[in-house]
Amino acid sequence: MAEQEEPGLHTDFRERMTYGDYLQLDAILSSQNRLSGHHDEMLFIIIHQVSELWMKLTLHELDGAVACISRDQFSPAFKMLARVSRIQAQLIQSWDVLATMTPAEYLEFRSELGQSSGFQSYQHRLIEFVLGHKSPHILKIYEKDPALQARLQEAFRAPSLYDAAIGALARNGFSINQTVLQRDVTRPYTADASVEAAWIAVYHNVNAYWNLYQLAEKLVDVEDCMQQWRFRHMKTVERIIGHKTGTGGSSGVSYLKKVLDHRFFPELWDIRTKL
């Protein structure tokens, strides 16, 4: 049966913006430039480009959540953090697609990557920074681009999502150690007894501290998803290249396994044993 024309359907776009114009699809869809003739290099490029787009949205939402929490605007922050968790689900699923590529197929074009590596993803570093995982030696990678390095330096020196959450605890009357509230946010965060005590009180008095309770659970969602993403990353790398050194010089699987031990919001996990 022939498709009937929809009444009122716009078909003349000589003077109007199209869907492709709005999304700048010509630029996006012309950016998959293989360096080899191998079929699967297209998969490799697209998976990583799509992941970077999702990371861009993740950063947009996380930055918004930090700003809202700092102003005690919890409802929009919850929406943003819930969206981050759904984005993370998409990123986790993407490893299943990449894992359809076999070691033999990857070897056909791996040498074309040179020293480039996902380890160098600046958006991934920005996400880690806003979640509180700050490694100063990483910044050297980006010296090639002064504007980008300045952006990373700014994020490195900014309070994290967890710093914002701890600030909310203090504003709601909990006694948080001043060493935590005034800490050097460029240094790794370590668990603190006053923060743990505050979260325990929140979980024991859910109705009285509903917003803080919801905030805690949203943070746990984000970290849980981040750890799932890290695990799937590690297993996909192990499946495709085994224990070879990464193209960027990292130890590959060994490094990714060590990262799994890192925690962003330690007290929120510790209190589960103590409640």
- Cα(first)–Cα(last) distance of the chain, in Å? 65
- Is 156 annotated as ligand-binding? no
Distance CA 129, CA 62 (A): 11
The residue among 111, 34, 113, 85 whose CA lies nearest residue 224 is 85
Concatenated DSSP letters of 230-265: HHHHHHHHHHHHTTPPPTTSS-THHHHHHHTT--SS
- Is 236 annotated as ligand-binding? no
- Is 47 annotated as ligand-binding? yes
Three-state DSSP at 15 gives: coil
Three-state DSSP at 7 gives: coil
Distance CA 190, CA 192 (A): 6
- Is 110 annotated as ligand-binding? yes
Three-state DSSP at 5 gives: coil
- Is 60 annotated as ligand-binding? no
- Is 44 annotated as ligand-binding? yes
Q: 161-171 and 193-204 are packed helices; what angle lies between their axes, rounded to 10 degrees?
A: 70
The phi and psi torsions of 54 (rounded to 5 degrees) equal -65, -35
- Is 102 annotated as ligand-binding? no
- Is 28 annotated as ligand-binding? no
- 52 by Cβ neighbours in 10 Å (0-12 / 13-18 / 19+) ranks as middle
Residues in the chain: 275
Listed in sequence order, the residues at least 6 apart from 110 whose beta carbon sits closer than 8 Å to its beta carbon are: 241, 247
The one-character DSSP state at 32 is: -
- Is 48 annotated as ligand-binding? yes
Question: Which residues fall in the annotated binding site for heme?
Answer: 233
Question: Which residues fall in the annotated binding site?
Answer: 44-48, 106, 110, 233, 247
Question: Which residues fall in the annotated binding site for substrate?
Answer: 44-48, 106, 110, 247
